[in-house]
Chain A
Amino acid sequence: EVQLLESGGGLVQPGGSLRLSCAASGFTFSRYAMGWVRQTPGEGLEWVSGISGGGDSTYYADSVKGRFTISRDNPKNTLYLEMNSLRAEDTAVYYCAKDLLYTPSITFDHWGQGTLVTVSS
């Protein structure tokens, strides 16, 4: 059974940093691209970032480019999202999601339960 478990969310001040982790199990982690998707409370979904199975290709939404960094540790079956220079508009539930393919296709067949990031002073 595929399981994705996010951690690392919490309250942070504007301009601060946070690192999210996503522990994966139940599938061969290195064979699939992974992504982060966020959802502002009561609002819609927003694709944030994606990474290929091998970790050599990364992609970002314009809204986070230059501030967020996606990475993965395949031997540890873990996905990360390093978030810097956080803004109030980054407040959201962040989901880790498994892609259907090795190269990101924005087709997410499994999702974690989400972790809430709140940016506020």
Chain B
Amino acid sequence: QSALTQPRSVSGSPGQSVTISCTGTSSDVGGYVYVSWYQQHPGKAPILIIYEVNKRPSGVPDRFSGSKSGNTASLTVSGLQAEDEADYYCSSYAGGNNLGVFGTGTKVTVL
């Protein structure tokens, strides 16, 4: 199972929006609703911010939103804030025995 493809980095000024793509195949992202996004600050464990493509766990600001089209999922961070500077990973259920796959990760920089 190959890792899902994400851009290495994206950046934006405070208040702007950034979108991160996550490209897989019909065997993972395109085939299932179980697409998630995680935020990870340096030295910390990942935090779930989007699940099942576009749902937000309790406590996650509505500045974070998710979507999917075909084999590509996207995370949009609106109204960028300094604390949003972190690494972001997508993941997808992939079926079979090799059940899960993560994205390559994207570093978000707030200028």
Which A residues form the contact surface with B (CB < 8 A)? 35, 37, 44-47, 50, 59-62, 65, 95, 100, 104-109, 111-114
Contact = CB atoms under 8 A, between A and B. Distances in A.
Contacts of B89: 44-45
A53 B86 CA distance: 32
Interface string B93-111: 1100111111111000000
A61 B57 contact: no
A44 B104 contact: yes
B102 A45 contact: yes
Contact of B51 (A61, A95, A109, A111): A109
B99 to A, nearest CB: 4
A111 B97 contact: no
B21 interface: no
Nearest to A45: B102
B93 to A, nearest CB: 5
Given A59-B99, A106-B34, A45 B105 contact: yes
Given A47-B91, A106-B93, A106-B100, A62 B36 contact: no
Given A62-B1, A106-B93, A109-B57, A47 B51 contact: no
Contacts of B94: 106
Given A62-B1, A106-B34, A50 B45 contact: no
Q: When A and B form their complex, which 5 residue pairs have the shortest distance between CB atoms, in order from nearest? A: A106-B100, A47-B100, A111-B45, A59-B99, A45-B102
A45 B22 CA distance: 14
A112 B99 contact: no
Contacts of B91: 45, 47, 106-107
Contacts of A45: 38, 46, 89, 91, 102, 105
Most chain A CB neighbours (cut-off 10 Å) among B1, B45, B51, B52: B45
Contacts of A109: 48, 51, 57
B74 interface: no
B97 A107 contact: no
A111 B40 CA distance: 11
Contacts of B47: 111
